[in-house]
Chain A
Amino acid sequence: MQTFIQASGICKEYHKGQSGVMALHGVSFSAQAGEFLSIVGRSGSGKSTLLNILGGLDTASAGKIYVDSQDLAVMRRYQLALYRRTMVGMIFQSFNLIPSCSALDNVALPMTFAARSKSERTQRAKDLLALVGLAQREHHKPSELSGGEAQRVAIARALANQPRLLLADEPTGNLDSHTAGEILELLLKLNAERNLTIVMVTHDVVSAADLSHRVLRMLDGRIVEEEEFRRMA
């Protein structure tokens, strides 16, 4: 089984005026390709910070982090942009769709940055919306979608450039439990059928244990507990 993510000793310090805030105190972990990994922990324990570093949106102050053998720590800003474009898809608690764009355009946006042709973008965006069960909602604006639908659009967008890694930061945090269940099911399906590696931050310890291969618990910028629930096939 190949190691897809290899993180060791990641530190993140935020500077606020004179004093610094240590959000991560040497986090080390690894993940297999195709693994569904959940991160739980109290608010402020550094989960989002870790996920943003994994997604190339933020950079670590110290430590090493390899994704698919690429060293994120040495990447320049444009290389990180390329990494975000091609290697990862991210979804968020607040969906982060562009309000003025239709569902279709939101899904097509990452492909625009990847210089895909318009026809190719449209076709693939339609396919992805069908995949997440929103074929009828192509031309709706985010404001016209329910929370669950919006998160599905976000998932479709995250898949646009066929990433191998999906990062989800509390994807069900704004949803009722029924809708949350549907979203988690969709993630599980993607993980199983597409061999997509998923790292999900969640508050929902029960469903995390249900879905994930492994759960990491964070506290004050450290991983304090690791539990395996399912063996990788």
Chain B
Amino acid sequence: MRISDILQLGLSNLWRTKLRTMLTTLGVIIGIGALISMVSFGTGMQKNVTSIFYDNDLFTSLRVLPMKIDINRALSGDVGSAMGAMKSSRTIDDSVLCALGNMPEVSIVYPEISFSVKLRYRGQEIRTELRALPQAMGQYPPHKEMGWGAFFSSDSALEIIVSERQLHNLKIHLPDGPLNVARTDTGMVYTILPSDSLLGSELEAVTLVLDAEKIAENPLIGMVQPPFREQVTRLKIRGIKKSADGFERPQIENTALIPIGAEKKVPRFEFSSMWTLLGNMGQKNKGYTALYVRVHDLRQLSVVRKRVEEMGFGVIALADQLEEIKRGFIFLDTALGAIGAIALIVAALGIINTMVMSILERTREIGIMKAVGGSEGQIKGIFFIEAAFIGVFGGVFGVLLGWGVTRIANIIANMYMVRQGATGHVELFYLPLWLVAGAIAFAIAVSLLAGLYPAMRAARVNPVEALRHD
């Protein structure tokens, strides 16, 4: 029997019972549609998260901490060893900075310094975090991209990079920025300024310093009123970061940047609690809280990491976290896929039911086919191909359905997020080619599996009994 004849026979048999075929195929379509939309949501999430990692170029960097950290042990409540680690902590000073900087694999190393300031511009004030970065970081994401202006001109210039959102909070609106004025709190009046007039203009960073005079006058004054006074540093706006499309990225949008060398020119008294206040008074230069280390190549990360750990420091690499996140996503994808797979199993039962029904109805026909020379294999093939067709149609249209559902869901989600105040556009779903091919292959495989028993049953029909007149 020719393959073309089997295909044609299968199709015409399905066509004969159009409604039943359609309903059965619809089961597969819905199953595959569910599978596709579920898994493409999972892969979409994964893509969004990993692309944040890639966009921010987090794979080639690591953080060096003063102490070895064993997160697992600390989390499991082993306070004793966690304390032991604290005791064995080492100071990260400039000599460590130099040692790391001299490693051939290391391209950039700088201490992580950030502090809280008030930014004052055109009479408006906001409180924000100021972070110090070397000029060299400007060539890497996310700093490579600057909405307006440029990255720092040098490591020591008195410059600042702010975000569009921070400007918004300062009641300044950039006409060509993605942030929207209309949806922000009503009653707020914005000054609309083009970026040209913002760039190069000066902004005031207000910090608190210990007021030595006040303390000298009366050491107990701190008990009555804070012994501080405000110190103003003027910084030139060098660049403005555009607000991110879609998700708000707080670490980026709520932080202003200054050159690493300029940081020392912003006097401040650092404290986060009374404890540090007292501690700071006692000792000078505790060392840095952490170092940022960037290697030239992703593959050098583990080498550098090992060397730094041997020096007695703790290391955190975000690449580790990504592995963990990826493992989490495999779990999520499996769970989502399982839901779709269950729908498909139900569809498979539908196929079995339909085919067994049609074999019962066509018993005589099967007997005739056998009487005129049809072999068991050929009859198996004729029925098997019906299941295969249901699988192919179900798979293809199921993918289309799943795709359609994700498109609609994405539009709705975006509409919702715009109403919640997000800007730009998010892709919640990702439908890679492997998923399309995999889903269709899965539909066919499941359908064939479902067709196995009915086809075997058809092949085993006893022709003598099938043809006995009635």
The residues of A with any CB-CB pair to B shorter than 8 Å are: 52, 55, 57-58, 77-78, 81-82, 84-86, 90, 92-94, 96-98, 100, 109-110, 112-115, 117-118, 157-158, 160-161
Nearest chain A residue, comparing its CB with the CB of B469: A94
Q: How large is the interface on B (under 10, 10 to 19, 20 to 34, 35 or more residues)?
A: 20 to 34
Nearest chain A residue, comparing its CB with the CB of B12: A100
For B370, the chain A residues whose CB sits under 8 A away are 57, 81, 84
For A110, the chain B residues whose CB sits under 8 A away are 372-373
Report whether over half of chain B's contact residues are helix, strand or loop; otherwise say mixed. helix
For A58, the chain B residues whose CB sits under 8 A away are 464
Nearest chain A residue, comparing its CB with the CB of B467: A96
**B371 touching A84, Cβ below 8 Å:** yes
A-contact bits for B452-470, CB 8 A (1 contact / 0 none): 0000000000011001010
User: CB within 8 Å of A: which of B1-49?
Assistant: 1-2, 4-5, 9, 16
**B373 touching A96, Cβ below 8 Å:** no
A96 to B370, CA, bound (A): 12
List the 4 shortest-distance A-B pairs measured between CB atoms, nearest first.
A85-B373, A81-B375, A110-B372, A94-B469
A-contact bits for B51-82, CB 8 A (1 contact / 0 none): 00000000000000000000000000000000
Instruction: Give the Cβ gap from A31 to chain B, nearest Cβ, in Å.
Output: 21
**A96 touching B368, Cβ below 8 Å:** yes
**B467 touching A85, Cβ below 8 Å:** no
A103 to B19, CA, bound (A): 26
- For the complex with contacts A92-B467, A109-B369, A113-B372, 7 further pairs of A-B residues with Cβ separation under 8 Å are A57-B370, A78-B376, A94-B469, A113-B373, A113-B375, A113-B378, A115-B2
Q: B377 in the interface, Cβ–Cβ < 8 Å?
A: yes
Instruction: Give the Cβ gap from A44 to chain B, nearest Cβ, in Å.
Output: 13
**B369 touching A113, Cβ below 8 Å:** yes
Most buried by B among A81, A85, A114: A81
**A55 touching B469, Cβ below 8 Å:** no
For B375, the chain A residues whose CB sits under 8 A away are 77-78, 81-82, 85, 113
**A57 touching B463, Cβ below 8 Å:** yes
- Known pairs A81-B376, A98-B365, A112-B5; A57 contacts B371 (CB<8 A): yes
Q: B364 in the interface, Cβ–Cβ < 8 Å?
A: yes
**B464 touching A81, Cβ below 8 Å:** no
For B4, the chain A residues whose CB sits under 8 A away are 118
**B372 touching A109, Cβ below 8 Å:** yes
For A82, the chain B residues whose CB sits under 8 A away are 373, 375
